[in-house]
């Protein structure tokens, strides 16, 4: 029974970091990308494990692990994702769909999660789970 409050605390800490991260709306990647950035239409969700934030590339079976900076559980993200309603929606289990400009931090390999940083985000839509 104690594990549930600890998980909730972890999610709230992640959201707090998303709300208070000191990042610009565009160009927030701290890590040096290994290739050109690209736009991905996907769904951003909080996952148990590391990294906590992941993007599912819609139409594929690929998950992109979002990391940026030293704290992989609460990466620096664009201001659009730090808005209170977006952070609250993530903790409540809603789906965040958007066009993410991601920069690759690791090579893309079959069966292995690729790490990326989110440089910018557009067309954000929040959908509540039923």
| 49-91 pLDDT per residue, tens | 888 889 999 999 999 999 887 766 667 777 777 776 777 777 7
Q: What is the mean pLDDT of residues 22-45?
A: 79
Task: Give the 3-state secondary structure of residue 128.
Answer: coil
Query: Which one has a higher pLDDT value, 112 or 19?
Result: 112
Task: Quote the tokens at residue 18.
Answer: 């998303």
| Total number of domains in the chain | 1
Query: Distance between CA atoms of 109 and 118, rounded to whole angstroms?
Result: 19
Look at residues 63, 124, 54, 64 and name the one whose alpha carbon lies nearest to residue 96.
Answer: 124
What domain range is 123 assigned to?
A: 3-127
Q: pTM for the whole thing? A: 0.73
Residues above pLDDT 70, as percent of the chain: 74
Query: Distance between CA atoms of 40 and 57, rounded to whole angstroms?
Result: 7
């Amino acid at each position: 029974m104690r594990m549930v409050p600890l998980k909730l605390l972890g999610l709230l800490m992640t959201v707090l970091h998303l709300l208070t991260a000191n990042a610009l709306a565009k160009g927030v990647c701290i890590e040096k990308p290994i290739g050109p950035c690209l736009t991905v239409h996907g769904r951003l969700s909080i996952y148990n494990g590391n990294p906590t934030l992941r993007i599912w590339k819609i139409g594929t079976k690929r998950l992109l692990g979002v990391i940026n900076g030293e704290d992989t559980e609460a990466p620096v993200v664009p201001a659009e994702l730090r808005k209170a309603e977006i952070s609250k929606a993530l903790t409540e289990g809603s789906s965040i769909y958007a066009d993410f400009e991601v920069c690759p931090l690791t090579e893309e390999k079959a069966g292995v999660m690729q790490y990326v940083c989110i440089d910018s985000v557009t067309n954000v839509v929040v959908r509540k789970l039923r």
